[in-house]
Structure formats: C-alpha cells, structure tokens
Structure 1
C-alpha cells in the first residue's frame, strides 16, 4: 500500500527497438507488443504506477523500429488493470483537437488511465524529414504551451474559444469529456529555462534528465518557485537508468560493460544532435548540455542519477532524491521484465520502509 506522498515509479516503455542504451550489449528486452504486454503486467504487479511510451518518427541512434505511441498506449491499457500509461505526443504532427478527442476516448475505454507527455522536440532532422515546421527553441515551447492550454480548454469547457499564434478555436465543444477531472494528466520534459517556465505555467508534471541530487535540487527549486508565483503546483519526475544487483561490484560491472560496448558512431551522432539542440536555447544550455560520451550512452542521462548498486544503496538514494523534491522516478533497465521483478521484490520494499520510518520520525519530532 502506498501513502499519498510516497515516491512513485514509472518505466520507459520499450516500444522503440534498441532498448534504453546506445550499446551493443546483449539485452533481453524487446520492442514487440507481446513483450510489452508482459512487461506492463509485470510492472503493475511490482508497484509501478506509470509507463511512458516513446515517440519517434525516424530511425536513428540504434533505434531502427518504432511503434506509434498513442495506439501502443491504448494496446497496453487494454491488457492491464491499474497501470497508467503516458502517451508521448509532438505538437506539429498532432493538432490539439485530434489529441483531445483521441485521449478523451481512450480515457473512457481505460476508465481514467491515460496521460499525455507533450514533447516539444529537439531533433530538427526528424521534423525536416516529415515536412513539419521547426520553430526556434523557445517558440517550440511557446507552441507546446498553446497546445496544452488548448487541451485543457477543450477538456474542461463547453463553447471553448482560443486565439493563439499556433492554434485557434471558436465556440468548440467536445463531448464526451474525459473521465479524469479536472482533466487528463499532462506531463512535459526539458531542462532549459523555457521548459521550466512552461512547466510552471501549465503542466501537471515536469520530467527532467538524470542528474546529481545537487543539480536536480537547483532545477526543482526554480520550477517550484515559478509555479508558486502562478498559484500552481508542479510535480517532478527524474530519469534514472537502474542497475540493481546483489553486490555493488556486480552493478558496476554491468555499467562498465554497457559503456565498453557502446555503439560509438551512434553515440557520437546522438551527441552531435543534442549539442545542436542545447546551443539553440536562449541560455545556450538544455538537455545534455554537460553530458559526457558515457552519459550519452543512455539517452536521457540516466546513469547520472546513480541508481546503480545494491538494493539498499539504491533505496537510500531514492529517498535522497525525494528529499529534494522528486515525486517520481522514470526508470530504464537493461533486461526489463526480470529487472522490474527484481526491483519490485528487492528495492521497492526498502523504499517504502524508509518512507515509513521518516513519517514516524516526523510525527515524534
């Protein structure tokens, strides 16, 4: 049983080939639907609250095949009972009215278990390949903000009207509206100033790349202060690639093998694209701005979060993340099904035990 303030756990859905590392290491993870159904059922049985599907339109960086996120999310929801699935969506290929209607229908079919991750985009080559407009960095977040404001309006109002730069609505009513109230949960990612500012104004959840506790605290404090100025609260999720083993030596050996077997051309290509994305931000920094080659072997800096070691070490580090304001751990694994089972059996009970101890201590203080 979880308490209302317990840290939550999500996992990256491997609906994209290549797993969650740009490495030629053996992975007992598969991008097929059958594998993902078994993984989703395993995850909800082992304490995971959310699953996040990925969105890509072009092959690259070791990911040659990709299932579409929204339809794949619905497929997983049909085979699970408790898990909430977050579908990643790009403004641009999706228009707000299509997304709003799709997700409202899925919300009814799943009895309130769909969420959305609005991805502003960082890879220009992908948008060029499909002929989609590619605004400059801050304008991509401005477009995403209009996208989110449009979704909220459609989902909560009748006769919705909106006049933005990118989207316009006039006296529009969607019925039926979603099951969830006030609306379907909205996630977003990013590390730039524009991303944090947007999260503070409109998003329910903010995903950030992996990082040290100290660096995460800076981001979280900034977002929370900005959200407070808008009379809002934003919850925080952080990316982490988890390697839990019986001994620290085993866990570190797995990490070193992943890096040693990195797909070097793919990592360099990914690094070049991310540096271009980071340089396009107003402040010259964004996701991956300070990432090393080793960091980039895991797409979202998951090694930096350092959830690598024994169950006891990982549980303690999760509590440290919680203490600086992290509400959710977005997890990647090498061999997903068996490692999710190991996490549920060995790590999660320790996390809940530490959280209980903290609550008892707080009451007696």
Structure 2
C-alpha cells in the first residue's frame, strides 16, 4: 500500500475528446481557452495534478486542432496557485539543454509545482513528417536514457559534462537553480522492458496505463523490486484511467454502452491511426486485449460503476501501491465535477 494519501489528476484536453470524437454532448475542442477554464475548475474542485500530453500534430487526424504542451504549461504555471502541472516531453523534439532550461523556468514560474512526463513516442508521422525520423523502439529508449541523464543533471543545478552516442555536453550549468527542491519531479511512461529499466534508474513516478488490478499489482512488483540509484527516493506509481461514476451501476453501464456506440463511429479513423503506431509499443499490445473506451487504457482499469463501487476500486488500487490517479471523463467537465463531489470523499473515508 502507498504510504502517501491518494492524489487525483486530470488529463488536459489537448486534442479534444478522450473516448469518442463524435459526441453531441462533448464538443471536440482542444483550445487554450477551454483547457485554461478546465484546469482552473479542476484546481477549485481539489484535483492535485494536470497532465498536459505533448503532440505537435493531432494523433487522430492532422486536420484536427492540437494544444501545444509546453507553452500551455508555462501559462498554466503562471495562472494557477496549487495544482501540479505535468508536461509530457518527447526527447527527439527538444535538445536536452534547451528543454532543461524551459523546465527550470516553468518550475520557477509555478513556485515548485512543475513536473516532466518522459514519453518515447509512438506516433510515427509526428517525427517522420518533420524530417526527424522514427527510430526503432529500443533505440528510442536508448536515446531517451541519454537525454534524461543530461536533463536530470542540469535540473539539479550541477555543472554537467556528458559524452554519449547522441549528446556531447561540455561544462554546462543552468542558473538560477531550483530554490524549491532538488529538481522538478520526473514521471516516466511505458511498460516495455527498456521503459521499466529507465523508470527504475531515472524516474520518480511510473505512469501505468489503465488495466485490471491484478495486472497492475504484477507491474508494481516487478519495477519496485529493481535496484534504485542512491540519489533517488523510493519509486512512486500513477495510474491512468477513464472513469464513469453514476448513482447506480446500471446508469454507469448505460453510459459506457453509449460511449462504445459513439466510439464505433470513429472506427475508420482508428484503423487509419493504427498504421501510424509502433507495433512494438507495449501500450497498444495491452489495449488490444481488452475492449475499452478512453486513451492510455481507459476503462480497462474498471472504474465504471456506482459511486461506492468506483471509490472501492480506487481504494483497492491505492492499497496495491497507486498514489496518483490520472483521470479522463466524457463529458469531461460534468463528470469531473461528479467525481470530485461524490467519489473522492468516499475514497478518503475508505482509506481513513
């Protein structure tokens, strides 16, 4: 069981709806205006974190809108007061020295509430069409390991010297250093063997994609048993999940069926998207095994049911070691409020 109280976060709507793209009750709106309002309300409702996923082009359809993660995160850092802002980063898109300086600045703007979510990319066109190239799966993780090694050192305020296959950094120092903590928190996603090795060596929190409790327990046992470098505290765990909480289980199941029906309309787009996905990405191999709605595992975590049922399942995940629950909803704003008002208090009562 996590020794820390549970935290609850939301996925920013950086590319619109999470479960179905053609929902009359959920406008496909990835605008800065909507996301700013969404995060303001999440903070007011007591949510602890917001994850701003990074895509330069929309992963569903390049003609659709896409929020830019890092400029949006800097703005949110200035406008909010309490919520943690987690910006995803794909290492091939930024040199580590440049990214570390950006992260350090957002850490100062936020007053020590900023975090990085390291992801090693699965959407081929995003990199190929930019002329960057899309390396093989394990090669991307080798690149990411060098990249985060440089970033980690710079964020700690260290005079950094690094020579590797991809980077040659000579006597680099960033100032001003972080006055709030040793460095911003680093989240790592991915469930392949290279991802597990990377998070054990370099991460603070491992983001696990939504899946059943027993599978999550197995993943936590594997990674928590790995040796950690001495500068790092014990690894913490987060879970992505799509939530449908209603007064009754029947009402929740009806809404799930409604979302499945809406998602079926997106089938041609999803088929097109498959050709853009790295088949070695474990996330998509896992997704193929369980029908679900929502991204990053979505409803596969089983957080669908009455308020009491969803609260109990979250308590069970927390007892298994999950500290942060990074949540999706649809309709997002309405269900985000319901969860805050009905489910979070129940979870806290269950966990004492």
Q: Same fold (TM over 0.5)?
A: yes
**Following TM superposition, by how much is the alpha carbon of 1:143 offset from its aligned partner in structure 2, in angstroms?**
1.3
Matched residue, 1:363: none
| Whole-Å separation in 2 of the counterparts to 1:326 and 1:99 | 29
Matched residue, 1:38: 37
Distance 1:77 1:228, change over 3 A: closer
**Following TM superposition, by how much is the alpha carbon of 1:14 offset from its aligned partner in structure 2, in angstroms?**
0.4
| Whole-Å separation in 2 of the counterparts to 1:273 and 1:105 | 33
Q: Secondary structure at the match of 1:169?
A: strand
Matched residue, 1:75: 75
Matched residue, 2:262: 261
| Whole-Å separation in 1 of the counterparts to 2:227 and 2:304 | 32
Matched residue, 1:52: 51
1:341 aligns with 2:337: yes
Q: Secondary structure at the match of 1:78?
A: helix
Matched residue, 2:236: 235
TM-score (normalizing by structure 1): 0.89
Residues 156-165 or 85-94, more deviating: 156-165
Where does 1:141-180 land on structure 2 (aligned, <5 Å)? 141-180=141-180
**Following TM superposition, by how much is the alpha carbon of 1:95 offset from its aligned partner in structure 2, in angstroms?**
0.9
**Following TM superposition, by how much is the alpha carbon of 1:241 offset from its aligned partner in structure 2, in angstroms?**
0.3
Give unmatched runs, 5+ long, in structure 1.
357-365
1:272-305 Cα offsets, whole Å, 9 max, x none, are 444xx23x36xxxx11213248746422111100
Preserved contact between residue 22 and residue 299 of structure 1 (Cα < 8 Å)? no
- The number of aligned residues is 346
Where does 1:105-120 land on structure 2 (aligned, <5 Å)? 105-120=105-120
TM-score (normalizing by structure 2): 0.92
Q: Secondary structure at the match of 2:50?
A: strand
Distance 1:31 1:199, change over 3 A: same
Q: Secondary structure at the match of 1:330?
A: strand
| Whole-Å separation in 2 of the counterparts to 1:195 and 1:290 | 15
Distance 1:255 1:271, change over 3 A: farther
**Following TM superposition, by how much is the alpha carbon of 1:339 offset from its aligned partner in structure 2, in angstroms?**
1.6
1:97-116 Cα offsets, whole Å, 9 max, x none, are 11111111111111111111
1:9 aligns with 2:8: yes
